[in-house]
Amino acid sequence: MNTAPTFAVVGHPNKGKSSVVATLSQNDAIAIALEPGTTRTRQSYPLSVDGKILYTLVDTPGFQRPRRVLEWLEAHSISASDHSETVRAFVTQHKDDGRFTDECELLTPLLEGAGIIYVVDGSAPYNAQHEAEMTILRWTGQPSLALINSIGPDDYSDTWQAALGQFFQVVRKFDAVRAPFEQHLSLLRAFGQLEPDWEQSLGKATEHLSAQREQRRRQAAGIIAKALKTMMSFQEKRTLSLDQIAGTSDSTLADQLRQHWYQHQRKQEQSLRVDIEHLYQHNSIRRQEAELEWHSDHDLFSEDSRKHWAVSKRYLATAGFGAGAVGGAGLDALTLGTSLGTGALVGGLIGAAGSYFYSGRFMLPALNIGLLQDGLKTATFGPVQDSQFGYVVLGRAVDHWWHISHRNHAGRELLDLAPADHHWLERLDKKHRQVIQKTLDKCRKKQPVDEGQMQKFQAAIEQCMAIYDDWRLNRT
């Protein structure tokens, strides 16, 4: 028997059942609230990979009258051999009884063969009512494990561990909001050991989920690579008639095109973030970051972003960064510090329209006005003049990816995207540094980037992600 197993997540109201379901089913649409009774009817949430259902989680209402239910069961049972049938009889007799609606809802999937995931709040004291719940669950005869999901600041987990161990084969601490991915797999393996019929299917489930995680990282690297190519090569264009040319100064035209260029780049970064979030099935993310406006500390073009994500002169030296890095300016306008965060882009020549600088740091694209042709002229702004912009986009994208890839689907807190320390990129090897720099240079010069180069670029970005992941998980 290798059908995908079903697990019913049960327990007292408001103890984190829905959070466990959301995390284990990778579904952030599941309602999670502080008020008891948010879940009133059982709901099934299958987890699929490549169209194949690996397992199903059932979110259930909480116990409301467990001691009354247990009294009925004990009064109608003759011996331990009839316990499961007695539970079935209770549900049959009381399914239309409003007093026991929640109990019938949570017991029904167990009678249909679901395994039991019993969730308790380790920050609340153990009491007799919980013992009644656990006794009822044991009467069903289904494979079971218990999760201690501490919600508040107090810790009664030792008491819970001792009590739960008398009723359940496996007892684990599990923070539904913060538990790392490996703990998810560990729970599946534990259930496979409890029920032989599920061992093979759950073993395959862990393999599929691990492979999916690796595939998502590769896909995320591809999304970032394509976004960087687009953003580095983007050029804002406007076609002007003679009247428009006569009535518009170069500085006004440059300002208009610049604002459109900024707006496009900000939208591209937002689209990049949404694509990564959807890849990891996070569809309801709320971000804690300032609005993407010109003078925001967290804006794509802000001094704060440049400070945190631009790279050092030492890094660029190993990436093969040369005097031609400023493109059309015709000179090396980089005077970078020796450590990350101290580098600054300073003045230089920018095209025919003169010099335009953002906060005295980023070198902006040039304004170019073409020759008159058929009574029209074309003005362009872009592409970006220096590669530091690409490193800012890359650093912000990798940081956002990291938060999303490690975020459980039970998380409802705002996603804090404040800049992190950026010394991690110094760990990237010379080969991948050169691939990234070469690709960024080609894009900003609007030179063709073939498929082979894009594959190398994607692989280099994936290596950046691996380095950042290791740095974030192991930093002190």
Q: Would the pLDDT of 341 be above 80?
A: no
Q: What is residue 336's predicted lDDT score, i.e. its pLDDT?
A: 30
Distance CA 405, CA 473 (A): 13
Contacts by 397-400, CB closer than 8 A, 24 or more apart: 397/224, 397/227, 397/228, 397/269, 397/272, 397/273, 397/276, 398/224, 398/461, 398/464, 398/465, 398/468, 399/468, 400/273, 400/276
* pLDDT tens readout for residues 356-394: 233 335 566 777 776 666 668 788 888 988 888 999 999
Q: Nearest to residue 382, comparing CAs of 216, 268, 222, 304? A: 268
Nearest-5° Cα angle at 290, 303 to 464 = 60
Q: Would the pLDDT of 264 be above 90?
A: yes
Q: What is residue 360's predicted lDDT score, i.e. its pLDDT?
A: 37
Q: What percent of the chain has pLDDT over 90?
A: 56
Q: Which CATH architecture has domain 6-194?
A: 3-Layer(aba) Sandwich (3.40)
Q: How confident is the model at residue 110 (pLDDT cuts 50, 70, 90)?
A: very high
| Residue 82: exposure state from Cβ atoms within 10 A (0-12, 13-18, ≥19) | middle
Q: Nearest to residue 223, comparing CAs of 271, 281, 285? A: 271
Lowest mean pLDDT among 77-91, 147-161, 271-285, 322-336: 322-336
Distance CA 430, CA 187 (A): 40
Lowest mean pLDDT among 40-49, 357-366, 424-433: 357-366
Lowest mean pLDDT among 207-211, 305-309, 408-412, 418-422: 418-422
Contact residues for 241 (Cβ-Cβ < 8 A; gap 6+):
375, 376
Q: What is residue 311's predicted lDDT score, i.e. its pLDDT?
A: 84
Contact residues for 360 (Cβ-Cβ < 8 A; gap 6+):
346, 347
| Tokens read off for 428 | 């990237």
Q: Would the pLDDT of 159 be above 80?
A: yes
Q: What is residue 207's predicted lDDT score, i.e. its pLDDT?
A: 94
Residue in the structure block whose two tokens are 């309602």 = 31
Q: What is residue 380's predicted lDDT score, i.e. its pLDDT?
A: 87
Across the chain, what does the average pLDDT equal? 83
| Better-predicted residue by pLDDT, 32 or 234 | 234
Angle of helix 196-233 relative to helix 181-194, nearest 10 degrees, comes to 160
Domains of the chain, by residue range, sit at 6-194, 212-474
Q: Are 435 and 456 in contact (CB under 8 A)?
A: yes
Distance CA 90, CA 103 (A): 10
Average pLDDT over residues 170-191: 92
Lowest mean pLDDT among 60-69, 103-112, 163-172, 332-341: 332-341
Q: What percent of the chain has pLDDT over 70?
A: 82
Q: How confident is the model at residue 425 (pLDDT cuts 50, 70, 90)?
A: confident
